[in-house]
Structure 1
């Protein structure tokens, strides 16, 4: 009997071993790792506005929209202007397999959680959070680039640029009594002040909006990212204009912009890409610094709320030093920003590179085109393809740094450093 018991015990062990072996070999294979992705969210400085090579954009109905023609509604998804030359696509991002540009030119904090078409002047694209969730279903998101703050419910970058450029052109071409009679009423003819661009109260409101939108992004990432590990880079803005114009743009035919009726000077600065009063430049740079404060404040607030989050503030305000519009005498050649460029007679798509010899009625007609078809002038005063290449280098540094706050600076020899 003892032998039988030993035999039975051996058989039981053999059966158990066989069962275990079957269980192990029959177990489902481990899930394959998702491909890694970098994602861009935000507005025009992130989407690639000004860089050309714009790609089709899927609208809120799921239809990919290619270039619809200059006279199509500006709400068309294509005018998000997602460029193949955007900084996301130009950055060196080790370990990243795929890149998704979800930003949209003109984007506001509102557009993060809601379809932008739900607000006035918004484009027909889904909420950026919905687009982010779609990426997370197929990819492990490791890098997120965010650019928010320049457009909000208080002010927009485009509105600020239009205001200051129009004031200069009005001052150059019209008398005090003419007031752009054929446009939308009077246009002031004095330089922009700080209060004309953004008041302290408006900057504070914009900070609250931006922080709330980034909070929504971080919350969503925590819910959908495959491994919970991702670096979030919050980039601010660089001014396309210098603190002072190169000397050759100060006056023309013995007239400068402190005197009424200086059309030759107006035409010269327009051709160079910088139709702006010299006195507007310093307020413009303080406005850019204010945008940087919005982004920095949002980062600091959310770092305290999300102590485990990998958040980096990327300051790019000096990334275009020495290569801004009208900073050198050959502008816009060799610059990193797009000049102010209006279009005449759409749908032909004829960009006006010179206002020389045009009277105020012609100027009026050209300005009206931008008002009616904003897409014809929305590239103005944005980073060009070379500028987005530089911003890509800035992102490369921010994506790999151990610091929580870095500045991207262009040296006089063109070298870009991030520290």
Structure 2
């Protein structure tokens, strides 16, 4: 074959081969899809406080902290109390392969974008956004559960609970004259009022603080989520105590909580898990409702700012109806929340009865909580069964087409989300 013909043929073959390659070229191998994940962020009602089975928590130095002992500093990362029984781990979440609990007991809006250790009484963990970024490196985040607002720069759930319980204990065990004789002046013994828990100005400030923190979270989530598709559930709070105590706990030995010194009644209510004045209960529920308004307002504001975001408000304020502490005569048995838990020194043994104890013993027990907060921080939080209920609430919120749903417990114990 003449050389020019061989050259022409070779050129023609080259053109045909190139054309075929263009027509039937296979795409480049796609990167493997990341496993799907649900992530929890926020404070104790999300982390699983009160539910036991607490897992090690990685601190800011990358060290996994297991239980450090009852006398360890309370800022230890372990005391974030991330529970294997937390609602995130008990919810039915179709399509979600992995779950990551990044919430921390005592968490505040500050801790979303800034390391908790950077503030007073914060724990030694990285910011929750940084922890979420680390998860997103290997996971496709499809669901985020966030519970935030009950702790903030203006007030904290722990301080509110401590104030009302301490007033009741002081009123029950010590007469007014003893305060003057031994302490040189009056000590609060009256029931908590609305203003004692959170003023309108404080709730407004807390709402702004929470909204700013979650705004940063949503911005970061949009940046790190593999496919940009995710639902964010804003859960509010449920009160561990009823609107009124079961009549069993109204009086004891002919005394109610409106008179000076009522130790038998005080011991009875403590054993049942509700050392509190009856008159403090409704302010407490209005406080819970205020937190609900805070969370819903945060969700609504951010929904307007992020119009394409999938944001759902989950109202759980009636999730414990009929099973709150001291709502039945068998409390704390059958309740969905933990009773007040105190220790007489940081020894791991909870005091279940104050019967027969004098005011000196009462003061010593109360001081243990002050000095070693980890000995009492589980108090008045959902227990493992309570988190199971909250998990059912989350299951409903994860699949709803509505932008706001309420989770309600019926008289027979069934849970509905609508």
TM-score, L = length of structure 1: 0.96
Q: Deviations over 1:300-333 (max 9, x none)?
A: 0000000000000000000000000000000000
Contact 1:166–1:187 under 8 Å retained in 2: no
- State how far apart, in whole Å, the 1-side matches of 2:81 and 2:181 are: 33
Q: Deviations over 1:362-414 (max 9, x none)?
A: 00000000000000000000000000000000000000000000000000000
Task: Tell me how far apart the structure 2 counterparts of residues 410 and 416 of structure 1 sit (CA, whole Å).
Answer: 5
2:95 paired with 1:103: no
Question: 1:88 is matched with which residue?
Answer: 88
Instruction: Say if 2:149 and 2:206, in contact at 8 Å, map to a contact too.
Output: yes
CA distance in 2, matches of 1:211, 1:186: 39
Match of 2:208 in 1: 208
Matches within 5 A, 1:95-244: 95-179=95-179, 187-244=187-244
Counterpart Cα distance in 2 of 1:181 and 1:413: 52
The separation in 2 between residues aligned to 1:181 and 1:209, in whole angstroms, is 43
Q: Does the 8 Å CA contact 2:110/2:213 hold for their aligned counterparts? A: yes
Offset of 1:16 from its aligned partner?
1.9
Q: Which residue of 2 aligns with 1:321?
A: 321
1:183 touches 1:368 (CA, 8 Å); kept in 2? no
Hey, what does 1:330 align to over in structure 2?
330
Cα distance between partner residues in 2 of 1:309 and 1:180: 59
Contact 1:106–1:151, Cα closer than 8 Å, also in 2: yes
Partner Cα distance (1:367, 1:81) in 2: 22
Q: Deviations over 1:229-265 (max 9, x none)?
A: 0000000000000000000100000000011110000
Per the alignment, residue 264 of structure 1 pairs with 264
1:21-65 per-residue CA deviation (whole Å, 9 max, x = no partner) reads 9x946x641101000000000000000000000000000110000
Number of equivalences = 416
User: How do 1:272-287 residues align onto structure 2 when only pairs under 5 Å count?
Assistant: 272-287=272-287
1:37-48 equivalences in 2 (<5 Å): 37-48=37-48
Change (3 A) 1:181 1:120: farther
CA offsets, 1:333-354, max 9 Å, x none?
A: 00000000101122x2111000
* CA–CA separation in structure 2 for the residues paired with 1:49 and 1:181: 40
C-alpha spacing 1:180/1:91, structure 2 compared with 1 (3 Å): farther
> Any conservation in 1 of the 2:160–2:197 contact (CA below 8 Å)?
yes
SS in 2 for 1:256: coil
- Structure 1 residue aligned with 2:357: 358
Distance 1:182-1:227 versus aligned 2 partners, 3 A rule: farther
Cα deviation, residue 19, structure 1: 5.8
Q: Distance in 2 between matches of 1:215 and 1:51?
A: 29
Distance apart, 1:131 and its partner CA: 0.1
Question: Partners in 1 of 2:242 and 2:6 — Cα distance?
Answer: 97
Q: Matched residues in 2 for 1:183 and 1:94: separation? A: 59
SS at match of 1:252: coil
Structural RMSD (CA)? 2.0
Query: For the structure 1 residues 184 and 275, does the alpha-carbon distance in structure 2 shift closer, same or farther, using more than 3 Å as the test?
Result: farther
Q: 1:294 to 1:314 in 2, by over 3 A?
A: same
Q: Provide the C-alpha distance between the structure 1 equivalents of 2:362 and 2:123, rounded to a whole number of angstroms.
A: 28
Q: Distance in 1 between matches of 2:388 and 2:233?
A: 17
| Preserved contact between residue 176 and residue 186 of structure 2 (Cα < 8 Å) | no
Distance in 2, Cα, partners of 1:317 & 1:185: 39
Residues 291-310 of structure 1: matches in 2 within 5 Å? 291-310=291-310
Aligned to 2:389: 390
Cα distance change of structure 1 residues 295 and 180 upon mapping to structure 2, 3 Å threshold: farther
SS in 2 for 1:45: helix
Partner of 2:18: 16
Partner of 2:403: 404
Q: Secondary structure of 2:177's partner?
A: coil
Question: How has the CA–CA distance of structure 1 residues 4 and 33 changed in structure 2, closer, same or farther, with 3 Å as cutoff?
Answer: same
How many angstroms does 1:7 deviate by? 3.8
Alignment of 1:8-87 (within 5 A): 10-17=12-19, 20=22, 24=25, 28-87=28-87
**Partner-residue secondary structure (3-state), 2:88:** helix
Instruction: Say which SS state the counterpart of residue 251 (structure 1) adopts.
Output: coil
Q: 1:283 to 1:180 in 2, by over 3 A?
A: farther
Q: Which runs of 5+ in 2 are unaligned?
A: none
Q: Secondary structure at the match of 2:155?
A: coil
Secondary structure of residue in 2 paired with 1:320:
coil
What SS is found at the alignment partner of 1:121? coil
